[in-house]
């Protein structure tokens, strides 16, 4: 392929730019010239409303996806957890970076013990899944909505909006906030959302096939991709977005097999359906569908219907 400059679209937050520059470095290492195109997404602009009330579809990706369709950029770089399950007919995910630790972490400027009953303890998060898990495992804790980029959230924490926050380890680590980690939540209890810990590269299906192939060769981590395809098939079958507290985590347990843990939890944390499955790697994506159907049959559909009814009633 002629060494055409690859235009990389990204949100403008420090973490999003870190991700874009990481992809850029891999492309540069492979011999390609690049340029970064920054945008501000709907999710970045609306900070005074919870994620659940805004609506989940394309909250952090819609503007970049439109630019891909218009040919204004060649690829878009996202946190994989922000990419909705249904991309439509014109777009596709072609690469996933090697996954960072996928855990959620509790962060703060002073030590906080969630296990100690303390009626005044306040924890901040913008995730409905994390809220639901907190209500399930730590019902005594007060929760406040915490929107904004990582730096904004830490400013709110410092200004006393809460005593601690729950964030993804990957973002905390990439922004060098490791010293503020109080607790790392186990993956089998606070199971992450689909895609947490990895960076996804998206393009239009009309992208030059040679460029597409070259980007995959330079960026894609095949073992991570296999896990992410399984998780995303789970999400697609569940028909859940980022405002629905589904969770899924697939990982390799040996050279040939993958374990998938996935489920859904009610918004109030009182009901949870949690399933796991071990399958040969070549069956991983199909297993994502299988485990979703099992979750729905074992009570997940009831939880999902309740969430949909609640959001419709409240006009979300």
- Catalogue the active-site residues: 81-82, 129-130, 147, 153, 242
277: number of Cβ within 10 Å: 18
**CA 106 to chain centroid:** 17
DSSP per-residue codes, the chain: ---PPEEEEEESSHHHHHHHHHHHHHHHHTT--EEEEEE--HHHH--SS-HHHH-STTTTTHHHHHHHHHTS-SEEEEEGGGS-S---SSEEEEEEPPPPP--EEEE-SS---TTS--TT-EEEE--HHHHHHHHHH-TT-EEEE--S-HHHHHHHHHTTS-SEEEEEHHHHHHTT-GGGEEEE--TTTSPPPTTTT-EEEEEETTS-HHHHHHHHHHH--HHHHHHHHHHHHHHHHHT--TTS-EEEEEEESSSSEEEEEEEEE-TTSS-EEEEEEEEEGGGHHHHHHHHHHHHIIIIIHHHHHHHHHHHHHTT-
3-state SS assignment for residue 67: helix
Burial class (CB in 10 A: 0-12, 13-18, 19+), 261: buried
**Interstrand relation of 6-11 and 272-280 (parallel, antiparallel or unpaired):** unpaired
Take residue 36 and report the two structure tokens written for it: 């970064």
Number of helices and strands in the chain (H, E): 11, 13
């Amino acid at each position: 392929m002629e060494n055409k400059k690859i235009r990389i679209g990204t949100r403008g937050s420090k973490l999003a730019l870190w991700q874009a520059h990481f992809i850029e470095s891999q492309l540069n290492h492979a011999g390609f010239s690049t340029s970064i195109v920054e945008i501000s997404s709907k999710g970045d602009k609306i900070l005074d409303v919870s994620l659940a009330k805004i609506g989940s579809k394309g909250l952090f990706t819609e503007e970049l996806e439109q630019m891909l369709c218009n040919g204004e950029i060649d690829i878009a770089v996202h946190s994989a957890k922000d990419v909705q399950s249904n991309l439509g007919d014109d777009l596709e995910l072609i690469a996933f970076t090697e996954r960072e630790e996928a855990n959620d972490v509790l962060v703060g400027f002073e030590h906080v013990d969630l296990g100690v009953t303390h009626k005044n303890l306040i924890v901040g998060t913008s995730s409905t899944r994390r809220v639901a898990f907190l209500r399930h495992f730590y019902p005594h804790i007060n929760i406040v909505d915490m929107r904004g980029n990582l730096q904004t959230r830490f400013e709110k924490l410092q200004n006393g909006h809460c005593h601690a926050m729950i964030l993804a380890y990957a973002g905390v680590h990439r922004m060098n906030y490791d010293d503020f980690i109080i607790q790392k939540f186990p993956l089998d209890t606070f199971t992450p959302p689909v895609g947490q810990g990895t960076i996804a590269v998206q393009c239009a299906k009309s992208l030059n096939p040679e460029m597409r192939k070259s980007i995959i060769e330079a960026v894609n981590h095949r073992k991570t991709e296999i896990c992410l395809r399984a998780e995303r098939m789970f999400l697609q079958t569940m028909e859940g977005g980022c405002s629905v507290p589904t969770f899924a985590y697939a990982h390799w347990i040996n050279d040939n097999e993958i374990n998938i843990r996935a489920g859904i939890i009610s918004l109030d944390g009182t009901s949870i359906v949690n399933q796991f499955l071990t399958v040969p790697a070549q069956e991983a994506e199909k297993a994502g569908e299988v485990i979703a159907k099992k979750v729905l049959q074992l009570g997940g559909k009831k939880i999902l219907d309740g969430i949909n009814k609640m959001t419709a009633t409240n006009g979300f």
